[in-house]
Amino acid sequence: MAMTKQQARWAMAKKGFLDMLPLNLAVLPWGILCGSLAIQRDFSVLEALLMPLIVFAGSAQLVAIELIANNASLATILFTTFIISSRHFLYGLALRDKLKLLPTNWRYGLGFLLTDELFALSGHSKAFVGQLRLVYALIAGGSFYLFWLLWNVTGVIAGSYLPDLTHLGLDFAIAVTFIALVIPTIINLPILVTVIVAGVLSVLFKLMAFELDLVAAALVAMYCGYLTDRLQQKNRSKSDNIMPVLPEKP
């Protein structure tokens, strides 16, 4: 039985919600930390809420709260925010050819919602193509926005009553979610090389306290994956030239 348009949309919305749900739950400790840290550092409730509402970026929020509380200069705060957010350039570039075609409102909306988490769910070759996949992206990205807000509000209300959940090992939740999303995508050697290089370099750069650690590790890893792919193709075309074409069996 064919689904009606309405049912198909509903099914995609549900899939978007369920696919994002693990990520929505995994960021609970950070959301609460962001909210409660803002209150502990003497932010007003309005300021603490504007962070998730309009900045909407976990790591940038955390770092900026500490910088603002320590009276860092505006230039320092904005520059740090820029460095932490620079990985988003990669997401925009990777999705450019699909998202640039969208109507203005969708483009602004999904652009605003383009977090690490939504990008992680955008790997499908036809992501954002067609109305149903847009519904999927909107519900996935939108539910992440609402959950992020919810956890931040919880942190604002709880203030200092809750212990720092990120030191309880709850940061493992985000790691295991990304493991679950990345490992099944390793379907060939170039991607395996990418993952290994990204893993080794990200740890090295983090230990060196290199500010662009994430982006630098990712860029080098992408290039290594790309080179592996080129090398494979070269070898393949070489062996195609040498190998005689076998006659087909009857």
Partner 1 sequence: MTLLTIFLMAVITFSTRYLFIHPRLPVRLGAKMAKLLSFSAPAVLTAIWVPIIFVQKGQLNLALNNPYLIAATFAILAAAKSKSVYLTMIVGLISFVISRYMLTL
Work out whether 209 is an interface residue with partner 1 (CB under 8 A): yes
Work out whether 147 is an interface residue with partner 1 (CB under 8 A): no
Work out whether 74 is an interface residue with partner 1 (CB under 8 A): yes
Nearer to partner 1, 31 or 225 (CB): 225
Of the candidate residues 1, 207, 243, 246, the single one contacting partner 1 (CB under 8 A): 207
Nearer to partner 1, 7 or 86 (CB): 86
Q: Which pairs with CB-CB distance under 8 Å and at least 24 residues apart come from 219-227?
A: 219/90, 221/193, 221/194, 221/195, 221/197, 222/194, 224/193, 224/194, 224/197, 225/190, 225/191, 225/193, 225/194, 225/197, 226/190
Nearer to partner 1, 1 or 13 (CB): 13
Work out whether 93 is an interface residue with partner 1 (CB under 8 A): yes
Q: Which of residues 11-70 bind partner 1 (CB under 8 A)?
A: 19, 22, 43-44, 46-47, 50-51, 54-57, 60, 64, 68
Tell me how many residues contact partner 1 (CB under 8 A): 89
Segment near partner 1 (CB under 8 A), from 3-11, 79-87, 146-154, 235-243?
Answer: 79-87
Of the candidate residues 78, 129, 189, 231, the single one contacting partner 1 (CB under 8 A): 78
Closest contact distance (angstroms) between CB of 250 and partner 1 is 39
Work out whether 129 is an interface residue with partner 1 (CB under 8 A): no
Nearer to partner 1, 13 or 29 (CB): 29
Q: Which of residues 152-191 bind partner 1 (CB under 8 A)?
A: 169, 171-186, 190-191
Closest contact distance (angstroms) between CB of 134 and partner 1 is 14
